[in-house]
Amino acid sequence: MNDRTTTSDIGLIGLAVMGQNLVLNMADHGFTVSVYNRTTSKMEDFIARCQAGEPSAERVIGHADLGAFVRSIKRPRKIVFLVKAGAGTDAAIAGCLPHLESGDIIIDGGNANWNDTIRREKELRAKGFEFIGSGVSGGELGARFGPSLMPGGSKKAWKSLEPIWRAIAAKVDPKTGEPLEDYAPGKPITKGEPCTAHIGAGGAGHYVKMVHNGIEYIDMQLICEAYMLMKTLLGMKPDKMSKVFEDWNAGDLDSYLIQITADILQQRDPARPKKFLVDSVLDTAGQKGTGKWTSVSALDLGIPANAIAEAVFARCLSALKEERVAASKKLKGPKDLKEIRGKKQLIESIHSALYCSKICAYAQGFQLMAEAQKEYDWKLDFGAIAQIWRGGCIIRARFLQKITEAYAADAELPNLMLAPYFRKALHKGQDAWRKVVSLAVRHGVPVPAFGSALAYYDGYRTAVLPANLLQAQRDYFGAHTYERTDEPRGKYFHVDWPEKDRPQLEM
């Protein structure tokens, strides 16, 4: 179908929502794109849709035959796969390989696990192909008008892909970092700084995209806890809360997720127009696994990303709907609660709790990436990563500009919380944050993310934690040894604990 002799700049396999929109984005930027889908009718429907109303339809070339699809692309060929992560990606790549030639570049734009990306790169390199694992964030609209793109792989492969990736990525004002979002089909934004850059070798791009998603989980959970507090403690209706989020979006919490929350909260239920839709949505959260991968990686690398993990567990707890409903009739909460006064002040405090917790969440995500780069021998530019997340992606936020600035001032920053801007914000907000967490605890309102972010802040700033006792316990029951405060690090001691007068033995 659409048999043309001109060769395409790039090919794309997998015409689900993200694939279709990415194709249109590339075509809008003047690239000719060959497209293929395992189910041919999907490709045909897409081509028909393009021809019915897309300004750049002539640059989208459909192929029903995989071999013809591959042959239609300029060499070295660049083929983007946007198929189901995991076995689906392996199968799609394997199907394509017999048609490819040495030096061709395979780009996986799905939410792949970085370990799979490392493996695929090695396997494909051994066969003479290049492989790029690229995080693509921004959902449907992002893919269409400017996603945030996180490519990992060899520099050589990146050089080949770079002009296309830079053209289609979201753009931000290079001075202010403000996203440039005035786009329309056929009229892409061509100025501004693109939200993409070479992240690093092998699985670096997919790792960073995974951490983006881990942060997305906690960002969303924090907003949900703010909503829950306003709903439960202040009895606020969705439209009133929508106004609060709208206000917050005009300040330092300005972000895509706060904006969509404001929109969601004023949406009426189409089935029952007097009601708000959010009240009819069942409170069980789904998840596809990237938040879990982030938390597992944090555990593997020994990084305390507790708030991110807490956001994953909060989704798990929400999924136990039937158990929770049954337990709500049996397990009692606190009694004799005083009425809450000072609504305006409490809303301001919730804002502070949200902002401070968000700082901790990002601190955890960046600390995790810092450890991962050691483990995998990547060289990550954290300022650039924050800049890439400034536009196009789900966690895009004004706040990220401050992260870019913090790393520009100190590339070796050990923890984001220590950067002067964030330190000041934490100092300013902590009283209100503590008040909100205490009030929630007092009233039996679950705020796992606010609480665990606060515990992280307090833990990180505590010079002496009770791990001295813990080490003593370990030594007591298992002779696991301990270090001493009055001896150099790395010298280990053991004592036979129950026998009081035994001397300490150096190990």
When the beta carbons of 212 and 351 are compared against ligand 6PG, the nearer one is 212
According to DSSP, the β-strands at 33-36 and 60-63 are parallel
Of 131-139, 164-172, 266-274, 363-371: span binding ligand 6PG (CB under 6 A): 131-139
Neighbours of 396 (CB within 10 A): 26
Write each residue from 58 to 87 as x if it is in contact with ligand 6PG (CB under 6 A), else as -, in one continuous string: ------------------------------
Degrees, nearest 5: CA angle 388-225-337: 160
CB of 116 to ligand 6PG, least distance (A): 15
Write each residue from 227 to 266 as x if it is in contact with ligand 6PG (CB under 6 A), else as -, in one continuous string: ----------------------------------------
When the beta carbons of 149 and 244 are compared against ligand 6PG, the nearer one is 149
Q: Catalytic site residue 240?
A: no
According to DSSP, the β-strands at 171-172 and 179-180 are antiparallel
Residues numbered 134-153 forming contacts with ligand 6PG, rule: CB under 6 A: 137-139
Write each residue from 274 to 313 as x if it is in contact with ligand 6PG (CB under 6 A), else as -, in one continuous string: ------------xxx-xx----------------------
DSSP lists the bridge partners of residue 133 as 108, 152
When the beta carbons of 395 and 437 are compared against ligand 6PG, the nearer one is 395
Q: Residues 102, 157: contact at Cβ < 8 Å?
A: no
CB of 440 to ligand 6PG, least distance (A): 24
Q: Which element (helix H / strand E) includes 96? A: helix 87-96
Comparing C-alpha atoms, which of 386, 368, 387, 388 is closest to residue 378?
368
Q: Is 485 exposed, middle or buried (0-12, 13-18, 19+ CB in 10 A)?
A: exposed
When the beta carbons of 395 and 436 are compared against ligand 6PG, the nearer one is 395
CB of 399 to ligand 6PG, least distance (A): 17
Degrees, nearest 5: CA angle 217-283-441: 75
CB of 449 to ligand 6PG, least distance (A): 15
Q: Quickly tell me which residue has 């983007």 as its tokens.
A: 80
Write each residue from 428 to 467 as x if it is in contact with ligand 6PG (CB under 6 A), else as -, in one continuous string: ----------------------------------------
289 φ, ψ to 5°?
120, -15
CB of 135 to ligand 6PG, least distance (A): 7
CB of 160 to ligand 6PG, least distance (A): 24
Of 50-58, 132-140, 351-359, 467-475: span binding ligand 6PG (CB under 6 A): 132-140
Task: Supply 447's token pair.
Answer: 């705020």
Which residue in the shown chain puts its C-beta closest to ligand 6PG?
A: 137
CB of 35 to ligand 6PG, least distance (A): 21
When the beta carbons of 236 and 393 are compared against ligand 6PG, the nearer one is 393
Gap between the Cα atoms of 351 and 357, Å rounded: 10
CB of 84 to ligand 6PG, least distance (A): 12
How far out from the chain centre does Cα 110 lie?
A: 13
Gap between the Cα atoms of 236 and 259, Å rounded: 18
Of 133-141, 153-161, 255-263, 428-436: span binding ligand 6PG (CB under 6 A): 133-141
When the beta carbons of 291 and 448 are compared against ligand 6PG, the nearer one is 291
Q: Catalytic site residue 379?
A: no
Check 209, 292, 358, 402 and give the catalytic one.
Answer: 209
When the beta carbons of 137 and 255 are compared against ligand 6PG, the nearer one is 137
Gap between the Cα atoms of 462 and 484, Å rounded: 18
Write each residue from 205 to 224 as x if it is in contact with ligand 6PG (CB under 6 A), else as -, in one continuous string: --------x--x--------
Mark out the alpha helices in 249-398 (DSSP H runs): 256-265, 290-301, 306-319, 321-328, 343-376, 382-388
User: Is there binding between residue 393 and ligand 6PG (CB under 6 A)?
Assistant: yes
Gap between the Cα atoms of 377 and 444, Å rounded: 45
How many residues of this chain interact with ligand 6PG, rule: CB under 6 A? Answer: 13
Degrees, nearest 5: CA angle 134-140-145: 80
Check 216, 225, 310, 358 and give the catalytic one.
Answer: 216
Q: Is 322 exposed, middle or buried (0-12, 13-18, 19+ CB in 10 A)?
A: exposed
Give Dmax over CA atoms of the chain in angstroms: 90
DSSP lists the bridge partners of residue 80 as 12, 107
Contacts 24+ apart (CB under 8 A), 262-269: 265/227, 265/238, 265/239, 265/241, 266/238, 266/239, 266/242
**What is the residue type of 397?**
A
When the beta carbons of 138 and 177 are compared against ligand 6PG, the nearer one is 138
Write each residue from 87 to 126 as x if it is in contact with ligand 6PG (CB under 6 A), else as -, in one continuous string: ------------------------x---------------
When the beta carbons of 316 and 467 are compared against ligand 6PG, the nearer one is 316
Gap between the Cα atoms of 138 and 406, Å rounded: 24
Q: Is 67 exposed, middle or buried (0-12, 13-18, 19+ CB in 10 A)?
A: exposed
CB of 152 to ligand 6PG, least distance (A): 15
List active site positions. 209, 216
Interaction site with ligand 6PG (CB under 6 A): 111, 137-139, 213, 216, 286-288, 290-291, 393-394
